[in-house]
Amino acid sequence: MGYLYFVAKRTVSYFAALIATISIVYIGTYPEIQKVIISSSNFLAGQYQQTLLRTSKGLTAAQIHTLVAGFKSNYLSAFGFNQPLPVKFGLQLYNLMTFHFGTSFFINAPNGSNQVSSVIAAYLPNTILLFTTGTVLLIVLGTIIGLFAAKSAGGILDKIVPFVAVIHSSLPTWWVGFLLIAGLAYGVSLFPTSGMMSIPPPGNPLSYVGSLLDHMTLPLVAFLIVNIGGFTYVIRSLVVSTIGEDFVITAKARGFSESRIIFRHVLRTASPAIATQSILAVTGSFAGGLTTEIVFNWPGVGLLTYESILANDVPIILGITFVLTVVLLVGLYIGDVVYGLLDPRIKSGG
Amino acid sequence: MDSIWKSTTRQFLRSKSGFAGLVMMIVILLFTVYSAAEVPQNIAFKWNNPQSWTGNPVGAAPVWVGVIGLHVSPSIPVSLKMWQESNVSAGAARFYEYNSNSSFSWSSSTTPQDVSFLPTFRGNAISATIAWTKPGAKAVDIQVSQVQSGNQYDANSPDFKNAISQYILAQTGQYSSGLTKSQVMSALFDQNGKGLLSGPVDTGDFTVEVQLLSTSPLNFTSNSSFNVIGTSYGPMGTDYYGRPIDLGILAGLPNALELGILTSVVAVVGGVIFGGLAGYFGGRKDGIMQWTTIVFLALPALNFLVVISYSSSLTLLEEGLLISFLSWPFYAIIARTVALSIKSQTYIEADRAMGIPAYRTFFSHFMPRLAPVSIAYTVLGIPAGILLVETLGFLGIQPPNLITWGTILDSAFFNEAALYGWWWWVLFPGLMIVIATIPFVLMGFALDKIIAPRVTNFD
């Protein structure tokens, strides 16, 4: 009961946060949004006019004109134009939150659609694939190395970890990617230089996955080089502070094996904090990893952002900003809920 | 409270990483001063105008790469001092002849990428003749007809190509039409003989004799030049447009630090006050303030800045303030945790029991303990600010007329520097980001290590 109440409270709080955050983005980009809606309405009205001209031969030019004008004003009123400002705000916010971003200027989805939401939907899975894989590797490797560093406190590993953590705060991932491409892809031709799949894509599913992994290696290496230090450092500090607690000393005194102490006592206690850190790492990588995709030409939302900056495709940039806001908040929400699941104090309603 | 600062400073200077960071930061600040004094104010205009870099070698490696075993040729500027040789009369016409004679020594086994003849004079000249002599023997006369003062004549110009193809015909017995620039350069620098275009580079003293012919007297206010443009230039090489990388790096240093420090100070001060107050208030107020923090934490900073920069062109100050606006929640979260741990201390309870007003408790107990934390996080926030600014520059989002390392790397990416092997274009600007941020990270870590346990375990 305690946990369900906690989850319900969090859900309400995060939903309110979602509305507030999207409102901030909305207010910050208000003039651009109005332009995008008007240009979308013009585009769709043009399309509608073409359809009318092609299919219904009986209509006069004046009739078509009236129909098109009606279509356009319908579209605009769906976005709250010619309405009082609060209504307009509410309608546009509703449309944004249901992913109705209008149409793009230039960039189309692979299936030919120019709806911003379908363009982003085509690119987003690739981002999720790359960075979720990266973060899972980061969490596994970081936890293992962090544990070893904490166990051998004062040892060589324990001394190296802070240094690598220093690097974490001063290396741009995209620059590391740049160097890796210059060295390992162009220099010694060990890896493909860019993209997600060899061209043409292999038909055999096994070699398809092989090609995908081959293309993923360098971005993942760049991601890990930059992020492993910071994550390991955090895990190490968490474990070190837990090892000093009384219950761990008690467990040692009771003669439990080392692995049992590490897994049952230390990791179990540190797990809520580790989970929070992991969720923050995943969501942070979605937002911060954008530039990595550009360097590796990985067809995710980061590359899409860059391409739309180059093409001045404002609707797409706006759409990505809103989608990323939602992704970040969902990530934070999951983090909070998982924290509650792992922390017995919250579960019991304490 | 005075003793906290004193002992913190002492401990900070004694810690290895803190001291190293401090020394590195002083060196970087000295370079910043040097940059402010040496780099001209309008450098960004010049930087973005490709015309202003003609005459520089293109995609040239740093000069010192010979040390690591790469073969490059140096750039040698040859200054031509013109003097009047004679007045020649041919029938009724009267000609003025001006000559110069310069030589340079060539020891590299690599052909340079270009030569550039730049005559400067006042008046009207008919033609210029460049007599090119190799260490071995007389080589070729290049006639430049209708020579204009201030024009650059390089290996690609038709006058050079015509003369060189005749020269190749004389040496190898084969006529080649449509010479490329590199063939012209090979012909100018290879040893005479059958293998002119494929043979080894001639080494020794090359001589350039230039003769200007005119019907009226010419005035010479400055020296003309005949520059050999090699494949190496300066300490960090040049990019695809001939811009020296070291100049760009120097020009990018002050604004990187300026933006880094500005964003960090504003974000940390704002975040610490907000988070500190949240932790201090507790209860319902804390809940609302924490929720506000999450609202701002969920803004995708990079995309948000990109979108904003579309609706209005940002100045340096505005960009810095916007970045702080997006990054304060991190510091608010940290400051709230610190404030909560201060709040659980007995002296706070004692204050409350004695009936001391809450605002006085806040100023006498919370602020003095939050201040050192703020300093540690301000120092740690500077690298984060610099990284974000350079990343934005890489995306092409930055105040106009500013050179950042991010934009240098963006143009390296755009011009496929990795593909062409121009590693210096990629390596140095990125390395500079690391060098400029590491001292702050080192100092921040050292400060954090000293301050964090003191604040949380204060008696």
Residue that has been written with the tokens 């015309």 in this structure: B51
Q: For residue B39, which of B244, B231, B200, B322 has the smallest C-alpha distance?
A: B244
Give the model's confidence band at A15: pLDDT under 50 very low, under 70 low, under 90 confident, else very high.
very high
Report for A106-110, A115-119, A281-285, B261-265: range of highest mean pLDDT? B261-265
Residue B2 is predicted with a pLDDT of 58
Residue of B nearest to A226 (CA): B434
Residue A289 has pLDDT above 80, yes or no: no
DSSP string for residues in B349-414: HHHHHHT--HHHHIIIIIHHHHHHHHHHHHHHHHHHHHHHHHHHHHTT-S-SS---HHHHHHHHHH
Q: Given an 8 Å threshold on Cβ–Cβ distance, is B383 in contact with A170?
A: yes
Put simply, whether B453 touches A (Cβ < 8 Å) is no
Residues in contact with B192: Cβ distance below 8 Å, sequence separation at least 6, in sequence order: B134, B136, B137, B139, B171, B202
d(CA B304, CA A28): 8
B442 to chain A, any CB pair closer than 8 A? The answer is yes
Q: In chain A, list all ranges with CATH 1.10.3720.10.
A: 116-347
Of B383, B454, B457, the closest CA to residue A168 belongs to: B383
CB contact under 8 A, B413 and A175: no
Choose among B307, B395, B441: nearest Cβ to A321: B307
Q: Summarize the confidence of residues B365-388 as an average pLDDT.
A: 85
> Quick check: B339 pLDDT over 80?
yes
Q: In what helix (H) or strand (E) does residue B332 lie, and over which residues does it extend?
A: helix B316-343
Hey, of B249, B310, B379, which one would you mutate to test binding to chain A, going by the most A CBs within 10 A of its CB? B310
Interface of A with B in 26-85 (CB under 8 A): 28-29, 31-32
| Partner residue facing A305 (CB), from B301, B303, B434 | B303
* Among the partner residues A29, A31, A182, nearest to B426 by beta-carbon distance: A182
Residues 254..293 of A with a Cβ closer than 8 Å to B: which?
287-288, 290-291
Whole-number pLDDT of residue B139: 78
Interface test with B, best of A33, A169, A329, A339 (most B CBs within 10 A): A169
* Alpha carbon distance B87, B160 (integer Å): 27
Q: Which residue in A287, A291, A314 is closest to B310 by CB distance?
A: A314
CA distance B391 to A348: 45
What is the model's pLDDT at position A288? Answer: 61
- Among the ranges B19-23, B56-60, B182-186, which has the highest mean pLDDT value? B19-23
The CA distance from A264 to B443, in Å, is 37
Question: In this predicted model, which residue has the larger pLDDT, B264 or B76?
Answer: B264
Distance in angstroms (rounded) separating the CA atoms of residues B192 and A107: 57
Q: Are B43 and B250 in contact (CB under 8 A)?
A: no
Residues of chain B found within 8 Å of residue A328, distances taken between Cβ atoms: 297-300
Confidence of residue A163 (pLDDT cuts 50, 70, 90): confident
Q: Is the pLDDT of residue B33 over 90?
A: yes
Q: What is the CA radius of gyration of chain B?
A: 32
- Taking only residues 385 to 424 of chain B, the set having a beta carbon closer than 8 angstroms to any beta carbon of chain A reads 387, 390-391, 394-397, 409, 412-413, 417-419, 421, 423
Phi, psi of A189 (to 5 degrees): 50, 40
Q: Using one digit for the tens of pLDDT, what is the confidence trace for B309-324?
A: 877 778 888 889 988 9
Residues in chain A: 350
Least CA distance to A30: which residue of chain B? Answer: B311
Inter-chain residue contact A317 with B445, CB threshold 8 Å: no
- Contact present, B375 and B331 (Cβ < 8 Å): no
Residue A1, pLDDT score? 58
**Which residues, 6 or more positions from B148, have their beta carbon under 8 angstroms from its beta carbon?**
B119
Q: Which residue has the tokens 């090489």?
A: B237
Which of B 290-319 lie inside 8 A of A, CB atoms?
291, 294-304, 306-308, 310-311
CB-CB neighbors (< 8 A) of B441 in chain A: 166, 169-170
For testing contact with chain B, the best of A15, A161, A174, A339 (most B CBs within 10 A): A174
Angle at B394 between CA A305 and CA B20, to 5 degrees: 135
B395 and A166 within 8 Å at the Cβ level: the answer is no
pLDDT digits (tens, 9 = 90+) for B203-232: 888 888 888 888 888 888 788 888 888 888
Res B270 pLDDT > 90:
yes
Residue B452 confidence class, pLDDT cut points 50, 70, 90: low
The whole-number pLDDT of residue B26 equals 95
Regarding pTM above 0.90, the answer is: no
**Region(s) of chain B under CATH 1.10.3720.10:** 2-49+244-457
pLDDT at A207 over 90: no
Residue B322: left (phi > 0), alpha (psi -120 to 50), or beta? alpha
Taking Cα atoms as reference points, which of B214, B204, B216, B233 lies closest to residue B119? B214
The C-alpha R_g of chain A, in whole angstroms, comes to 26
Intervals of CATH 2.60.120 along chain B: 73-229
Q: Please judge whether A172 and B294 are an interchain contact, meaning their C-beta atoms are less than 8 angstroms apart.
A: no
From residue A175, give the alpha-carbon distance in Å to each of A232, A245, B408.
Answer: 22, 41, 12
Q: What six digits make up the tokens of B137?
A: 């023997």
Alpha-carbon distances of B356 from B338, B349, B351, rounded to whole Å: 22, 10, 5
Asked if A32 and A318 count as a contact pair (C-beta separation under 8 A), the reply is yes
Which CATH architecture is the domain B73-229 placed in?
A: Sandwich (2.60)
The answer for residues whose C-beta is within 8 angstroms of residue B412's C-beta and 6 or more apart is A178, B239, B418, B422, B425, B426, B429
Spatial distance between the Cα atoms of B88 and B97, rounded to a whole number of angstroms? 7
Q: Omega into B77 within 30° of 0, i.e. cis?
A: no
Mean pLDDT to the nearest integer, B140-153: 85
Which chain A residue shows the shortest CA-CA distance from B435?
Answer: A170
- The confidence score (pLDDT) of residue B256 equals 92
Confidence of residue A347 (pLDDT cuts 50, 70, 90): low
Tokens describing residue B46 = 């010049």
Residue B57, φ and ψ in degrees, nearest 5? -65, 145
Phi/psi of residue B415, nearest 5 degrees = -95, 15
The pLDDT value given to residue B291: 92
> Which of A180-189, B28-37, B89-98 has the highest mean predicted lDDT (pLDDT)?
B28-37
> Which member of A181, A294, A329 has the closest CB to residue B418?
A181
8 A C-beta contact, residue B263 and residue B327: yes
Per residue in B149-178, pLDDT (tens digit) is 888 888 888 888 888 888 888 888 888 778
Taking an 8 Å cut-off on Cβ atoms, the answer to whether B391 and A174 are in contact is yes
Q: Which two tokens stand for residue A178?
A: 């740049």
The answer, for A174 touching chain B at a CB cutoff of 8 Å, is: yes
Beta-carbon separation of A166 and B303 below 8 A: no
CA distance B233 to chain A (A): 21
Q: Please tell me the predicted confidence (pLDDT) of residue B31.
A: 93
- As a whole number of angstroms, the distance between CA B402 and CA B380 comes to 25
pLDDT(A251) > 90: no
The helix or strand, by DSSP H or E, that contains position B128, with its residue range, turns out to be strand B125-133
Question: Measuring CA to CA, which residue among B430, B420, B112 is closest to residue B240?
Answer: B420
CATH 1.10.3720.10 fits A116-347, yes or no: yes
CATH number of B2-49+244-457: 1.10.3720.10
- CB contact residues (below 8 A), chain A span 287-306, against chain B: 287-288, 290-291, 294-295, 305-306
Chain B interface, mutation test: which of A27, A166, A298, most B Cβ atoms within 10 Å? A166
% pLDDT > 90, chain A: 7
pLDDT band at B429 (very low <50, low <70, confident <90, very high): very high
* SS3 sequence of chain A: CHHHHHHHHHHHHHHHHHHHHHHHHHHHCHHHHHHHHHHHHHHHHHHHHHHHHHHCCCCCHHHHHHHHHHHHHHHHHHCCCCCCHHHHHHHHHHHHHCCCCCECCCCCCCCCCCEHHHHHHHHHHHHHHHHHHHHHHHHHHHHHHHHHHHHCCCCHHHHHHHHHHHHHCCCCHHHHHHHHHHHHHHHCCCCCCCCCCCCCCCCCHHHHHHHHHHHHHHHHHHHHHHHHHHHHHHHHHHHHHHHCCHHHHHHHHCCCCHHHHHHHHHHHHHHHHHHHHHHHHHHHHHHHCHHHHHHHCCCCHHHHHHHHHHHCCHHHHHHHHHHHHHHHHHHHHHHHHHHHHHCHHHHCCC
pLDDT given at position A350: 43
Whether B340 and B279 have beta carbons less than 8 Å apart is answered as yes
> What is residue B459's predicted lDDT score, i.e. its pLDDT?
36
Measure the N-to-C terminal CA separation of chain A; round to a whole number of Å. 11
Neighbours of B419 (CB within 10 A): 12
- Contact present, B214 and B126 (Cβ < 8 Å): yes
Query: What confidence score (pLDDT) does residue B458 get?
Result: 41
Query: Across all residues in chain B, what is the average pLDDT?
Result: 85
CA distance B202 to B136: 8
How close, in Å, is residue B377 to chain A by CA atoms? 13
Q: What is the pLDDT of residue B253?
A: 93
